[in-house]
Amino acid sequence: MALEITDASFEEVVLKSDKPVLVDFWAAWCGPCRMVAPIVDEISNEYDGKAVVGKVDVDNNQEFAAKYGVRNIPTVLIFKNGEVVDKQVGAAPKKTYTDKIDAAL
């Protein structure tokens, strides 16, 4: 399962990670977000130990969504060494996300 990331834990979990981090910005009312959720959970299991995979509920955690200019959801950001290195806006196939993580490994 993907980690639940909050504004309070974002810096520690994402920005200070020594591994690449996939962050899914989502909301419960968003249909495409619900389509992406099982893919993100699968990736979390497959990349366990190699990358950090987490989700930010933008309704409850707006600070970092705003900081990174997330205007449409789902938006998936890939972080490496605390910096955004890739981005996917809108639902996409699993391979799109895994290719982005692989590029950051």
**Phi, psi torsion values for 102, nearest 5 degrees:** -55, -40
CA distance 38 to 17: 23
Query: Which residues are tagged catalytic?
Result: 30, 33
Rounded to 5°, the CA angle 31-91-97 comes to 140
The dihedral region occupied by 38, where left means phi > 0, alpha psi between -120 and 50, and beta the remainder, is: alpha
